[in-house]
Chain A
């Protein structure tokens, strides 16, 4: 007798397909969209159970569009929180209840909610936060800047940094798949540089909207709730852990390291679904190398082309797709043969420069130049990067702005 396969549908009536089919094999059509619209398109295909929102520029529109998806029946639960702190607490509750959960935030909203991110990670909740990064400083700015990623680096969440709207779409879908792996099971923050991606329109290739990811199966969680308790709540109630300094440090430290180890365990999955943790661009033999992520990588790529065509200077770009896990091995390998490493960034402190220095220390002896760097809403025209390189090399700066 011929075997028949049962086609499965999610609550919105979309056909369930494998993540590999959705991300790599399904036919795609070109659309012209903003980053915010792309968030909606990704959530539409992600069998999302719950989303909570609170407005803050520049993510407000993306949050609003997820609300439209709830009206259309694609998202199970959607409501507005009382603040960003409320939102991040409420999505934690949704995730603890076994829901695939997504939310969005930006800049100061991220900081207001900050206490929740280590709590998500420590409770091993595979929540997805789409971070549309924006300035955090005084006087108040709503302009592009990714300073807040620095604050998030040590919360125990995975952090992926998309360069384009297309990559944001793919990362949101892949983010759920990787975060929900039983041996990973930590939150994922998919970051973009606000406005540059959220508010500009670009060509995006989208798969059909009648297919979707398999729904989240909370019973595959490596620690199913017992007696209505989630890890690590049970640890906290242990009198030995609470009262004995000796046992307390062992259990608490072990859990802290376990969360970080889980991020490391995400590497093979992220490598598969993101087609590598890094991307290399430009002349592989070039000795001048830019290490960048997000929009800074896009600007560095343009500068690389200008350097070659206008000045005859060979350069290349190593773009990091994931910051947590940090692709240390891949970066060291990619930087062999480099003479100078430049780290262009959209923030005042240079968090990526710090990360790169830490990864290379004791592994590769190459000067790291934390420049050029802009902040507080400034853009970084490729001419600006070209000028920096030419000045560093002692060459004449001719027609750059």
Chain B
């Protein structure tokens, strides 16, 4: 069940409580620290490779073939999942779910904690989720679960994820795969 977050039972927004903002261009955020992108990528890979039930939550921006970049990103997301040994649970739209949420098949931004609790997920990556919805979901997860959250965002990033990588396009995803392969080797996996 829910664990009491740093701001009580309210979803925990670091921008409000700790004055942590999204990283500047070219940098990433590792908890409260602005770090080089590669350092954040290494820590993200490590978290996904060492925690229980690592899962990637891809959103509509990589699930649908809107354009060539989306198609290429979708292919790379599959490769990341293979490299990290991660499950994929999509956030394929943001529609209300009625009459029942199926936490094994999908995650919904309004109650992402249900999916995380049901599957006992201890590390996850958000990718391709529209920023407003990613921000809402990440706050709820941070406040109510002990899941380690990583955001790979095509825009400015999400300060409420434990690791946020900004401006992530195909080149950056390819770099993340390379970094993840290295970390995997170092961990003897």
B96 pairs with A254, CB closer than 8 A? no
A226 / chain B contacts, CB cutoff of 8 Å: 60, 93-94
Which one of A222, A240, A261 contacts B16 once the chains associate, using CB atoms below 8 Å?
A: A261
A325 to chain B, nearest CB (A): 10
Chain A residues whose CB sits within 8 angstroms of the CB of B149 once the complex forms: none
B111 contacts the other chain (Cβ, under 8 Å)? yes
Contact B159 A235 (CB under 8 A): no
How distant is A186 from chain B, measured CB to nearest CB, in Å? 11
- Is the CB of B125 closer than 8 A to any CB of chain A? no
**Residue of chain A at shortest CB distance from B136:** A254
CB distance from A247 to the nearest CB of B (A): 5
Q: Given A182-B156, A251-B111: A222 and B140 within 8 A (CB)?
A: no
CB pair A257 B130 closer than 8 Å: no
Q: Interface segment, A8-16, A98-106, A263-271, A301-309?
A: A263-271
Cβ of A234 within 8 Å of any chain B Cβ, yes or no, is yes
Q: Which chain A residues numbered 171 to 187 have a C-beta less than 8 Å away from chain B?
A: 181-183, 185
Q: What residues of chain A lie closer than 8 Å to B136, measured between beta carbons?
A: 235, 251, 254-255, 258
A31 within 8 A of B: no
B130 touches A223 (CB 8 A): yes
**A residues near B131, Cβ cutoff 8 Å:** 182-183, 222-223
Contact residues of A: prevailing secondary structure: helix
Per-residue interface assignment for chain A, residues 153 to 184, with 1 indicating a CB less than 8 Å from any chain B CB and 0 otherwise? 00000000000000000000000000001110
A253 vs B135: C-alpha distance in the bound complex, in angstroms? Answer: 12
Q: Is the CB of B21 within 8 A of A264?
A: yes
A231 within 8 A of B: yes
User: Do A265 and B15 form a contact, CB below 8 Å, given A183-B156, A258-B132, A258-B135?
Assistant: yes
Q: Are A124 and B132 within 8 A (Cβ)?
A: yes
Complex CA gap A181/B22 in Å reads 13
Tell me the bound Cα distance from A238 to B110 in angstroms: 8
Closest to A224 in B: B130
Q: Of residues 82 to 122 in B, which have CB atoms within 8 Å of A's CB atoms?
A: 93-99, 101, 108, 110-111, 113-114
A260 within 8 A of B: yes
Q: In the assembly, what is the distance between CA of A222 and CA of B93, in Å?
A: 15
Determine chain B's interface SS by DSSP, over half rule.
loop
Contacts of A238 in B (CB 8 A): 96-97, 108, 110
Shortest beta-carbon distance, B110 to chain A, in Å? 4
Interface centre among A124, A223, A227 (most CB of B within 10 A): A223
Q: Identify which of B15, B96, B114 contacts A234 (C-beta below 8 A).
A: B96
Q: Residue A30 at the B interface, CB < 8 A?
A: no
Q: How far is the CA of A258 from the CA of B139 in the complex (A)?
A: 8
- How does the 8 Å CB contact mask read for B126-170 relative to A, with 1 for contact and 0 for none? 000011110111011001100000000001110110000000000
Which chain B residues lie closer than 8 Å to A223 at the CB level?
A: 130-133
Which residue of A241, A253, A329 has the most chain B CB atoms within 10 A of its CB atom? A253
B residues less than 8 Å from A239 (CB atoms): 96-99
Residues of B within 8 A of A267 (CB): 21
Instruction: Report the Cα distance A230→B158, complex, angstroms.
Output: 20
Contact: B156 with A253, CB < 8 Å? no
Q: Which of B9, B132, B140 has the most CB of A within 10 A?
A: B132
- The answer to whether B113 and A250 touch across the interface, beta carbons within 8 angstroms, is yes
Tell me how many residues of B have a C-beta within 8 Å of chain A.
40
Complex Cα spacing A258 to B133, Å: 10
Is B11's CB within 8 Å of the partner chain A?
yes
Determine how close the nearest CB of chain A comes to the CB of B23; give it in whole angstroms. Answer: 11
Question: When chains A and B are docked, how far (Å) is the Cα of A223 from the Cα of B114?
Answer: 23
CB atoms of B11 and A254 under 8 A apart: yes
Contact partners of B108 in chain A: CB under 8 A: 238
List residues 358-373 of chain A with CB under 8 A from any CB of chain B: none
Instruction: Confirm or deny: A237 has a beta carbon within 8 angstroms of a beta carbon on chain B.
Output: yes
Residues of B within 8 A of A124 (CB): 132
Chain A residues positioned under 8 Å from B114 (CB to CB)? 247
Report the separation of the CA atoms of residues A74 and B16 in the bound assembly, to the nearest whole angstrom: 39
Which A residues, 236 to 287, have Cβ-Cβ distances below 8 Å to chain B? 237-241, 247, 249-251, 253-255, 257-258, 260-261, 264-265, 267-268
Given the complex, which residues of B lie within 8 Å of A224, measured CB to CB?
130
Q: Does B13 contact A (CB under 8 A)?
A: yes
Contact with A235, one of B110, B135, B160 (Cβ below 8 angstroms) = B110
Contact between B22 and A183, CB atoms less than 8 A apart? yes
| Pairs A–B under 8 Å by Cβ, sample size 26 | A181-B156, A182-B156, A183-B131, A226-B60, A234-B94, A234-B95, A239-B96, A239-B97, A239-B98, A240-B111, A241-B111, A247-B111, A250-B11, A251-B111, A253-B10, A254-B136, A254-B140, A257-B139, A258-B13, A258-B132, A260-B15, A260-B16, A261-B16, A261-B135, A264-B15, A265-B15
Given contacts A238-B110, A257-B139, A260-B15, 11 further A-B contacts (CB under 8 A): A183-B155, A222-B130, A231-B132, A234-B95, A237-B96, A238-B97, A240-B110, A250-B144, A251-B140, A261-B13, A264-B21
Q: Which residues of A contact B (CB under 8 A)?
A: 124, 181-183, 185, 222-224, 226-227, 231, 234-235, 237-241, 247, 249-251, 253-255, 257-258, 260-261, 264-265, 267-268, 328-329
Interface residues of B (CB under 8 A from A): 9-11, 13, 15-16, 19, 21-22, 24, 60, 93-99, 101, 108, 110-111, 113-114, 130-133, 135-137, 139-140, 143-144, 155-157, 159-160
What 6 A-B pairs are tightest by C-beta distance, nearest first? A222-B131, A238-B96, A261-B15, A223-B132, A254-B11, A257-B13
